[in-house]
Amino acid sequence: MEHNSSNNFIKNIIKEDLEAGKHDKIVTRFPPEPNGYLHIGHAKSIVLNFGVADDFNGQTNLRFDDTNPLKEDVEYVNSIKEDVKWLGYEWDNLFFASDYFDTMYNKAVLLIKKGLAYVDDLNADEIREYRGTLTEPGKNSPYRDRTSEENLELFEKMRNGEFANGEKVLRAKIDMSSPNINLRDPVIYRISHTEHHNTGDKWCIYPMYAFAHPLEDAIEGVTHSLCTLEFEDQRPLYDWVIEKCEMESTPRQYEFGRLNLTNTVMSKRKLKQLVDEKFVDGWDDPRMPTISGLKRRGYTPEAIRAFCHEIGVSKAYGTVDSQMLEHFVREDLKLKAPRTMGIIKPLKVVITNYPEGETEWLDAEINPEVPEMGTRQIPFSREIYIEQEDFMENPPKKYFRLFPGNEVRLKHAYFIKCEEVIKDDEGNVIELRCTYDPETKSGTGFTGRKVKGTLHWVDATHAVPAEFRNYQPLILDEEAEEEEDKTFLERVNPNSLEIFNGFVEPNMKEVKAHDKFQFFRHGYYNVDPKLTTNEHLVFNQIVSLKSSFKI
Ligand code: ATP
Ligand code: MG
């Protein structure tokens, strides 16, 4: 496995730090909050954190930032662990922020003793009002000048459950007129009478992210704390917490641009809403940009890592074309996936001059780009299926597929010629009668005449029924452009899933969940791990074969 990161400014910083002897060893962390499943944006952060640590023989912690019990759940803890492993990474340590609650509490007490934190009785709305704006300074809370003794006593009462949710908060005492709003006495502890997945009912006060996160990093000896750009303005607070709490280790925070993708929402809150409101069939629905959704769709860890390396890491905001992600899965599967033929919308063809009851087995390469993959055997007999769209009764010019009187090549088999069209009472084409020419067998070097069209097909007698699921983007960007204020739920594509019942080659009886194939003309498909049973095969379209995207 490639195990390295692309060149980026963070890697350069780390290199300089190591050369300057600032650290013996670098430590990074990936710090998800277990309030949802990981998405492709998290993959960027995972590849970065684990990648740079690997490059410099450092270590990476997987740390659950579980400081908000209302939204967190062990289901998410487990899925996150699984997804990180699936992406190909092993953490050096597994930590939970909640394991540090005692230390964090003691650090808050230290701040109170130093006169750097106070218990405030203002409610959330009042705190917002007092905070001021970007252009106006804030106002001091009337409770700001409580004595350390009083604050210690109140904070202990908060901890002991003597107050209701929201009745009091603990705030850092920094500067209500700071030009950086984050420094205007941020709340660092709040009351929440909520059971925690890890600490049970031990705590009814929980630290806020801005206070907890720097402490978590410092406790673990993280050297480079990598986060997304929205946290840039919080860096002074991050440094303040570490300094004032007298942490031994002093991690540095570095920010990079978060990943955004076209036709994709990338926030756990929104993704959860799609799940809860049943727009999709769970977090691992193949249309979801979650790691588990991408996995079920058929994306590979190799493709996702290659994509993350290619997009790189920078200080800029931007949106990446989701076709680029598709490009990397095509690249990865091109030489790995066996080729096969499948019919998505079948039309029956009877080859009238082929002997009844007879079957011959034809040789077909498994992947012409990788001859070592060998050949497979495909049956051919009197009845086959082709795609409905490969026949037209009255074709336009330059239509080289099947039409009355025309001859085409059947991939890996013979030339056939359309002699007769059978219709039902409503005039729908239900069957074609064709003849074949035994001289034209594939692989025998026939050069007698040429045909312009090559069709894929499956033998009707031996074909295995299969369900094909084709996908379109779940979220439509165009809608957003047309109507500025459409919510993302109004942009959900009602046609993001199309289901077809078709047929595949008989050797497909043996497939396992997550086997991947390139179906001739249709694209790459993954055997769906949830819907496939011994009796019913389901293929998820990973990507179509062609894209207009060039990198
Ligand atoms: P979301 O907004 O989707 O809920 P989050 O940032 O709240 O994401 P966390 O669980 O806190 O989710 O994220 C864990 C790590 O993943 C953080 O370090 C965060 O910066 C990073 N991360 C989250 N989303 C992205 C993204 N789109 N691109 C890059 N990194 C991301
Ligand atoms: Mg979050």
Ligand 1 binding residues, C-beta < 6 A: 31-33, 41-42, 44-45, 227-228, 258-259, 266-269
> What amino acid occupies position 240?
W
Closest by Cα among 45, 55, 56 to 22: 56
Q: What is the CATH number of domain 5-258?
A: 3.40.50.620
Catalytic pick among 268, 305, 469, 491: 268
Q: Do 525 and 481 touch, CB atoms closer than 8 A?
A: no
Testing ligand 1's pocket by substitution, the residue of 39, 228, 260, 266 carrying the most ligand atoms inside 8 A of its CB is 228
Q: What is the length of the chain?
A: 551
Q: Which ligand is nearest to the CA of 64?
A: 1
Residues of the chain with pLDDT under 70: 1-6, 479-485, 548-551
**What DSSP string runs through 222-253?**
-SEEEEEGGGGGGHHHHHHHHHHTT-SS--EE
State how far the Cα of 134 lies from the Cα of 139, in Å rounded to an integer: 13
| Catalytic (active site) residue 268 | yes
Domain extents in the chain: 5-258, 261-338+466-543, 342-456
The whole-number pLDDT of residue 486 equals 79
Q: Which fold has domain 342-456?
A: Ribosomal Protein L25; Chain P (2.40.240)
For residue 33, the CA-to-ligand 2 centroid distance in Å is 6
What is the pLDDT, as a whole number, of residue 3? 43
Q: Which of 258, 334, 348, 530 is catalytic?
A: 258
Query: Closest-lying ligand to the alpha carbon of 45?
Result: 1
Residue 44: which H helix or E strand, with range?
helix 40-55
Assigned architecture for domain 261-338+466-543? Orthogonal Bundle (1.10)
Alpha-helix residue ranges (DSSP H) falling in 399-539: 477-482
Residue 484 is predicted with a pLDDT of: 64
Distance from Cα 70 to the centre of ligand 2, integer Å: 13
The first and second tokens of residue 326, run together, are 């598709």
Cα 309 to Cα 328: distance, rounded to the nearest angstrom: 11
Q: What is the pTM for the complete model shown?
A: 0.95
Q: Which of 357, 356, 351, 378 is nearest to 366 (CA)?
A: 378
What angle separates helix 322-334 from helix 301-311, to the nearest 10 degrees?
130
Residue 33 known to be catalytic: yes
Listed residue (390, 354, 301) closest to 50, CA to CA: 301
Which ligand is closest in space to the CA of residue 261? 1
Alpha carbon distance 21, 164 (integer Å): 50
- Specify the pLDDT at position 480: 60
Q: How many CB atoms lie within 10 A of CB 437?
A: 15
Ligand 1 atom at minimum distance from 44 CA: 29
| Residue 485 to residue 505: CA distance in whole angstroms | 48
Which of 33, 39, 45 to probe ligand 1 with, by most ligand atoms within 8 A of CB?
45
- For residue 33, the ligand 1 atom closest to its alpha carbon is 10
List Cα–Cα distances, 285 to 36, 275, 278, 524, 531, in angstroms: 14, 9, 11, 17, 11
Active site residue 401: no
Buried/exposed 373-392: b ≥16 CB within 10 Å, e otherwise: beebebbbbbebbbbeebbe
